[in-house]
């Protein structure tokens, strides 16, 4: 260094470069404060102090009337509200809870539980939906007591449930679990491989980009359990195919009870293109590296979600896929398997948006499908349909490999 000034500039540049490369990404959405709201006179406690909770504020309007405020993590936001809180009371009593949503969306009738295992819908007569004309909020009449009453928008399948499922399925000798990366808040993004590790044919499955989309997780588990089960067709399929499953793409969003976003404040299913989020980059890097293995061939990409109905978002039949016309053949197989099952197909849905299915189709040349189960479809039905859908998928894929 010729002068102290040059030396100073050099050190400043090194420090700047170091910070810009190594700086940890910071959350772009405000984290919900986990706490209890205690109403001393009534002995009532509202809590959001648990994984997956969403309750932003709580206030007492009258003696037995409370207002809960539910605010999404981000805006603008998709109109798919999530709420989850617990209420206990020193004495048994009835209260009215009014739902105050700060952003557009409709609070659905809650599912309630006293232990987090047995769930039931709140009785219809105890629920009054919001009325936008009269400007009255949705209202629930709840019986509360010493055991906390869980009040959730949907029966939950949380991070622990999904972790337990992965642990259980990974006991099978033909499976392998790996951590492919970390979310912004440091949660493991886990990947499950099922089947012959030397097979060159691949199916990719991802899920839970959107935290409240629980029937999507139930469908994913039912589908994957079918591939892992001890049947002739599943065994044949596992011999020819490796199934790669990333069950939770957005673990931070699930933990923090988000409506939609990652902790980075982005809808990850609009980020398969920009790849601004660490979570989508982890998924991309893992799947692309597998697809680049010598002789690897990707046959299908499925992304499990929930919406108002059972629907498949697909490419159009004229969009060439490998295997040829897979989607048309598969949906026909599902309909034959369940003649009374009413589902829809929307070809070319959101095809200009950077969704996972469009990215997968363009990247791998295989069908990229968003598989949506209705929020209101029962877990039992979702499992049954997902099982049949997996059997029909395996049938087509085995036809493909046997004809080669």
Enumerate binding residues for Zn ion (CB under 5 A): 210, 213, 305
Report d(CA 356, CA 370) in Å as an integer: 8
CB 346 → Zn ion: shortest distance, Å?
13
Nearer to Zn ion, 213 or 391 (CB): 213
Q: Which is nearer to Zn ion, 311 or 390 (CB)?
A: 311
- With respect to Zn ion, which residue has the nearer C-beta, 305 or 357? 305
Among residues 208 and 238, whose Cβ is nearest to Zn ion?
208
For residues 204 and 397, the answer to whether their CB atoms sit within 8 Å is: no
Q: What whole-number distance in Å separates Cα of residue 51 and Cα of residue 54?
A: 9
CB of 188 to Zn ion, least distance (A): 22
Nearer to Zn ion, 201 or 306 (CB): 306
3-state helix, strand, coil in the chain (%, to 5): 30, 25, 40
**What are the DSSP calls for 112-150, one per residue?**
EESSSSS-EEPPGGGEE--BTTTTB-EEEEEEE-SSPEE
- Residue 19 CB, shortest distance to Zn ion, in Å, is 36
For the chain, the straight-line distance linking the first and the last C-alpha, in angstroms and rounded, comes to 67
How far apart are the C-alpha atoms of 22 and 9, rounded to whole Å?
20
For 48, the 3-state DSSP assignment is coil
In the block, tokens 């369940």 appear at 338
Burial label, 380 (beta-carbon count in 10 A; 0-12, 13-18, 19+): exposed
Residue 239 vs 349, nearer CB to Zn ion: 349
| 208/383 with CB nearer Zn ion | 208
If the CB atoms of residues 213 and 392 are measured against Zn ion, the closer one turns out to be 213
Residue at shortest CB range from Zn ion: 305
Shortest reach from residue 369's CB to Zn ion, in Å: 13
Which ranges constitute the DSSP H helices of 181-325?
A: 214-228, 232-240, 251-255, 278-291
Burial of 161-177, coded b for 16+ CB within 10 Å and e otherwise, reads bbeebbeebbeeeebee
Q: How far is the CB of 66 from Zn ion (least distance, A)?
A: 31
Three-class SS string for 51-111? CCCECCEEEEEECCEEEEEECCCCCCCCCCCCCEEEEEECCCEEEEEEEEECCCCCCCCCE
Map tokens 């493909």 to a residue.
400
Q: How far is the CB of 132 from Zn ion (least distance, A)?
A: 25
> How far is Cα 212 from Cα 223, in angstroms, rounded to an integer?
19
- Tokens linked to 140: 């629930």
Report, in Å, the least distance between residue 254 CB and Zn ion. Answer: 13
Beta carbons within 8 Å of 219's beta carbon, 6+ residues apart:
304, 371, 373, 382, 383, 385, 386
Angle at the Cα of 268 (from 187 to 317), degrees rounded to 5? Answer: 130
Q: What's the closest the beta carbon of residue 217 comes to Zn ion, in angstroms?
A: 11
Q: Provide the minimum distance between the beta carbon of 357 and Zn ion in the complex, in angstroms, as a whole number.
A: 11
Report the residue number, 98 or 210, with the smaller CB distance to Zn ion: 210
Least distance in angstroms from the C-beta of 77 to Zn ion: 13
The packing angle between helices 278-291 and 356-364, to 10°, is 20
Q: In this complex, which beta carbon is closest to Zn ion, that of residue 328 or of residue 350? A: 350
Nearer to Zn ion, 303 or 391 (CB): 303
CB 169 within 8 A of CB 225: yes
In angstroms, what is the minimal distance from the CB of 238 to Zn ion? 28
């Amino acid at each position: 260094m010729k002068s102290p000034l040059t030396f100073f500039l050099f050190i400043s540049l090194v420090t700047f470069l170091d910070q810009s490369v190594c700086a940890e990404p910071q959350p772009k959405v405000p984290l919900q404060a986990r706490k209890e709201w205690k109403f001393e006179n009534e002995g009532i406690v509202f809590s959001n102090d648990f994984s997956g909770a969403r309750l932003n504020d709580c206030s007492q309007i009258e003696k037995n009337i409370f207002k809960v405020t539910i605010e999404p993590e981000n805006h603008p936001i998709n109109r798919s509200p999530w709420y989850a809180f617990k209420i206990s009371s020193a004495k048994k009593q009835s209260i009215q809870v009014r739902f105050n949503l700060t952003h557009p969306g409709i609070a659905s009738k809650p599912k309630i539980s006293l232990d987090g295992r047995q769930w039931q819908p709140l009785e219809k007569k105890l629920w009054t939906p919001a009325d936008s004309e009269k400007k009255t909020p949705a209202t629930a009449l709840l019986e509360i007591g010493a055991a906390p009453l869980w009040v959730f928008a949907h029966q939950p399948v949380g991070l622990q449930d999904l972790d337990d499922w992965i642990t259980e399925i990974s006991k099978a000798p033909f499976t392998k679990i790996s951590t492919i990366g970390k979310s912004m808040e440091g949660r493991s993004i886990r990947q499950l491989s099922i089947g012959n590790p030397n097979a060159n044919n691949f199916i990719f499955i991802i899920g839970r980009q959107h935290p409240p989309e629980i029937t999507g997780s139930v469908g994913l588990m039912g589908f994957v359990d079918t591939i892992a089960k001890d049947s002739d067709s599943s065994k044949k399929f596992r011999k020819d195919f490796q199934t790669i499953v990333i069950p939770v793409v957005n673990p931070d969003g699930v933990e923090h009870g988000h409506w939609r976003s990652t902790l980075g404040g982005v809808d990850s299913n609009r980020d398969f293109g920009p790849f601004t989020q660490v979570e989508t980059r982890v998924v991309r890097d893992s799947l692309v590296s597998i697809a680049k293995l010598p002789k690897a061939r990707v046959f299908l990409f499925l992304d499990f979600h929930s919406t108002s109905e059972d629907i498949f978002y697909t490419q159009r039949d004229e969009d060439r896929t490998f295997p040829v016309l897979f989607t048309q053949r598969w949906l026909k197989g599902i309909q034959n398997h369940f003649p009374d099952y009413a589902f829809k197909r929307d070809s070319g849905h959101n095809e200009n948006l950077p969704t996972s299915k469009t990215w997968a189709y363009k990247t791998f040349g295989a069908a990229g499908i968003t598989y949506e189960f209705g929020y209101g479809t029962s877990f039992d039905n979702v499992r049954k349909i997902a099982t049949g859908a997996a059997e029909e998928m395996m049938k087509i894929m085995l036809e493909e490999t046997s004809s080669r």
